[in-house]
Amino acid sequence: MTEEKVLRIQATDVDTNGVWHWDGKEIPLLGRDIPIPENVRLEMDPERQEVLMLVNADGWLDMCPKCGTAPAPGVILVTEFTKMYPAHCCNSMIWMTDERDNNDIYEA
Ligand SMILES: [Zn+2]
């Protein structure tokens, strides 16, 4: 069994280009698999999901869901099933998972 290091990504460490600044390194998150916290994942979703695109937060959100800053600053990282919003306004990592019913799940 391999033990995986759990890296805590701070919201303010992810810049508006979706680049994660960590330990002196710059790690672009676009195209990378990121670990999705268990409490925001639906049961059937994979633990790691690839960041498919970046969108401007103000195109998706009227305001920061946490502190109400409007327009919502920064970017949202979109994976197949989850959206990760590093909110710089309140240094919060906000996760959004769409509600789905099983009828929407297709097996390949
Ligand atoms: Zn905020």
Ligand 1 centroid from CA 57, angstroms: 11
Q: pTM, whole model, 2 decimals?
A: 0.84
Ligand 1 centroid from CA 26, angstroms: 23
Ligand 1 centroid from CA 81, angstroms: 22
Residue 41 in tokens: 């994942």
Domain extent listing, the chain: 11-107
> 64, 90 in Cβ contact below 8 A?
yes
> Could you report the per-residue pLDDT of 23-60, keeping only the tens digit for each?
899 999 999 999 998 888 988 899 999 999 999 999 99
> 96, 45 in Cβ contact below 8 A?
no
Rounded to an integer, the average pLDDT of 91-99 is: 89
Ligand 1 centroid from CA 50, angstroms: 24
